[in-house]
Chains A and B, each alone.
Chain A
Amino acid sequence: MKAHLTRRYRFSASHRLHNPAMSDAENRSTYGKCNNPHGHGHNYALEVTVSGPVDEGTGMVCNLVDLDGFVQQEILQRFDLQNLNMLEEFQKSVPTTEHLGQTIYEILQRGFRRAHLERVRIEETMMNSFEFAEAREGNW
């Protein structure tokens, strides 16, 4: 039987929203306070949902040790306590939570093989969150 398993992680990072293709005035009007040249930070919460048949021998969709290990090594170590603007991923794109979530979704989709990636959800603050999933019909 197929189940969905969701694990929640936390990391903190700083960023500045600024697009060099825009004028200073346009950057300010587009990004507001987030355009502050010195940057600012967030405590992000990351939810990773994977799905698959529940293995009869283990009772699991996938072993949490594998998921936690992958997320720790490939995502948290890369982004936690970093300035996102300094990372290679964000040299050509603005480190909005949309772009951050897409990047994390792609890392998981490319590298995590123990279960099917269903969804990635990121909370930038308690007030806003972003979800990433394959476009398809059905349950999330």
Chain B
Amino acid sequence: MVYLTRKAEFAASHYYHNPAFTPEENQRVFGKCNNPNGHGHNYTLEVTVKGEVDPRSGFVVDLKQLKETMNREVLEAMDHRFLNKEVPEFSTRIPTTENLAIAIWQRLEPKLNAARLHRVRVYETPDLFVDFYGEA
């Protein structure tokens, strides 16, 4: 089994707010991230796929296809967007880095055919990242 990782970057804004919480509770739980005008990050995305090396091509996956899938399914939807308002998943879920990694997994997983998705890693900053392995 070989694991292959492709990186991408995108920039987006978000804020954390749960409409089921009181304003005080939102402020206490989310602090500065609760500012409704949003704030932004330069995110780094790492997508790791796994599979056997195809003996003819020598590839686990065609990197061009993986890149195109990432561009189409993730970057076109999220790059330079306000996640809360423009990405449908986040009309009902808070766009934390955890939920972002899960949403990206759910977008990519059904679109990959040659290789299986192993891990989605999202860096919100160089000092904070989340890994999602598709675990229930």
Contacts and interface: CB of A to CB of B under 8 A. Distances in A.
B129 A6 contact: yes
Contacts of B29: 58, 63
B56 to A, nearest CB: 30
B1 interface: no
Contacts, number: 64
Contacts of A9: 127
Interface residue range, chain B: 20 to 34
Contacts of A65: 31
B23 to A, nearest CB: 15
Contacts of B132: 1, 3-4
Contacts of B129: 5-6
A7 interface: yes
Given A4-B132, A64-B128, A54 B21 contact: no
Contacts of A120: none
A122 to B, nearest CB: 15
A6 B131 CA distance: 8
B31 A5 contact: no
Interface string B91-133: 0011111110110000000000000000100000011111111
Interface string A44-66: 00000100001001111101110
A5 B98 contact: yes
A110 to B, nearest CB: 24
Interface of A: 1-9, 49, 54, 57-61, 63-65, 139
11 contacts: A1-B136, A2-B135, A3-B101, A5-B98, A6-B131, A8-B128, A9-B127, A57-B18, A57-B20, A59-B95, A61-B98
